[in-house]
Amino acid sequence: MQHPIVRERVNYFFGSNFAVKKDFSSDKYEIMHGGKKCLDFEFMVDDPTDDNQMPFIKLENRTKPRPRILKVSGVFKCQGDERKGASLMRLIDRLAESIPFVEYITLMDSSNIRICDVSISLAQLKILTTGQSWYNHFGYKTKWHDANMAHNAVIINTRIDDIMSGKTLIETTGKKLFPELPTTMTVREYVQAVLDSVRPFPEKCTPEQHEKASFLKTLIFELGWMNDLKYVNWDLIKIVERRAKSRSPRSPRSPPRASPPKASKSSRSASRSPRSASRSSRSASRSPRASPPKASKASKSSRSASGGRRTRSCKRNKCKHNKRITKRK
C-alpha cells in the first residue's frame, strides 16, 4: 500500500511537467512524458544490497516499517531541458530529501548513449575520459570507489604506445579513420578526441560515420576492460543528506569587554580631583558678581543733582541683591 507522504511528494515534484503512473498496491512509480518513460523508481522498506558488499551502510532498525530506500530502476532521456538526465537526477535527489524517513538512494548503472544507432556504454566512456562514471559525478558510489579511481587513473593516463591491449586496433582501424590522432596521446586524450569527432553525428548516419561510431564502441572495450579497468555498476549508493533549515541572519555578538583593573586609592583620589575642580568652577560661576566700586562723593553729588530718584532705585536694587545673596548662603 502506498505511503501518503510518498504519494504527495511524488505528485509535488513530478505532477506539473510529467505524467505520474502509480502501482496502487505498492510504492512503484513511472514518470512519463509524451508517452515515453523518463523515470522508473520505487520506495522499499528492506535493504536490497548485500551486507558483505555494502558494509559502510548502517541503518537503524525501525519498529514501524517505512519505505526508507528509494530504488531507481531506470533513467531515460525525455524531451525538454527539464527532462534530461541531469535534471531528472536532481529531481530524484530533491524528492528523497523531502521525505524524512528516506535514508538512501540505490540504483544499477546500465546507462548508455546512442550514436549512429550504435549503443555505447556511458559508464565506460566517462571513466576513460574523466576518471568517474556519470552516476559517480552525482554522488552514487560503492565502497570500492576510491580504490577503483586510483587504479583507473594509471590506465587512462598511460600513452597509447605503452598500453597492453587495444594497440593493434588503433594502429590499423584507428589510423585509417582518424589519421590525425598520434599514438603519443594518452588513453584519456585519444578517447576524448574520437568522442568529440563522432558526437555531432545525426541520427541517420553515413556508412563512414557509422564505422567511426562502431570504432568508438570497440575502442572503449579494448582500452577499458581489456586493460583491467575497474568499475562496479550494481547497487550504487547515495546517502540522503538533508540541509539544515536556514535561519534569519543575526548580527554577531561583540565579545564581552574586560573589566579594567581596580585603581589604587591614590589614583582614585586623583581621578576624583578633576570633578572637584569642575564643581568649584561651577560654584564660581554661580557666585554673585562683584559689586562695583563705591562711587566718590563727587559722583554721588552729580547723581543727586541729576535726580535723587535714580539713587533711590539703585539703593532698592542693592537691597534686593543683598537678599539674593543671603538666600544663596
Give me the residue label for grid cell 509535488. Answer: 12
**Residue 82 confidence (pLDDT):** 79
Q: What is the mean pLDDT of residues 153-163?
A: 94
Q: Does residue 99 share a domain with residue 21?
A: yes
> pLDDT, tens digit, for every residue of 67-99?
899 999 999 988 877 788 999 999 999 999 999
pLDDT digits (tens, 9 = 90+) for 120-148: 999 999 999 999 999 999 999 999 999 99
Tell me if 35 is assigned to some domain. Answer: yes
Give the model's pLDDT for residue 60: 53
- Please indicate, yes or no, whether residues 176 and 194 belong to a single structural domain of this protein: yes
Judge if 38 and 21 occupy the same domain: yes
Does residue 273 form part of some domain? no
**Other CB atoms closer than 10 Å to residue 78's CB: what's the count?**
21
Q: Would you say residue 255 has pLDDT above 50?
A: no
Contact 181/190 with Cβ under 8 angstroms?
A: yes
Residue 224 lies in a domain: yes
The pLDDT assigned to 26 comes to 80
Q: Which of 44, 77, 107 lies at the terminal end of a domain, its last residue?
A: 107
* Torsion from C-alpha of 170, 176, 182, 185, nearest 10 degrees: -40
Residue 69 in domain: yes
The answer to whether residue 172 is domain-embedded is yes
**Structural domains counted in the chain:** 2
Span 50-69, mean pLDDT? Answer: 60
- The full DSSP string for 176-241 is HH-TTS-TTSBHHHHHHHHHHHHTT--SS--HHHHHHHHHHHHHHHHHTGGGT-----SSEEEE--
In a domain, 180, yes or no: yes
Report yes or no on 37 lying in a domain: yes
Per the structure, the complete domain to which residue 198 belongs is given by 110-232
Closest by CA to 113, choosing from 129, 96, 93, is: 129
Same domain? For 90 and 179 the reply is: no
One domain, residues 92 and 164 = no
Q: Do 145 and 201 have their domain in common?
A: yes
Query: Are 88 and 138 found together in one domain?
Result: no
Are 119 and 94 contained in the same domain? no
Same domain, 103 and 211: no
117 and 179 in a single domain? The answer is yes
The last residue of one of the domains, among 232, 251, 285, is: 232
Instruction: Round to the nearest angstrom and report the end-to-end CA distance of the chain.
Output: 99
Is it the case that residue 329 has pLDDT exceeding 50?
no
Q: Which of 107, 124, 144 is the last residue of a domain?
A: 107
What share of the chain has pLDDT > 90, as a percent?
A: 56
Whether residues 118 and 177 fall in one domain: yes
Phi first, then psi, for residue 70 (nearest 5°) are -105, 110
Does the predicted model carry a pTM greater than 0.75?
no
Position 93 in a domain = yes
Nearest-angstrom CA–CA distance, 212 and 14 = 39
10 plus 123 within the same structural domain: no
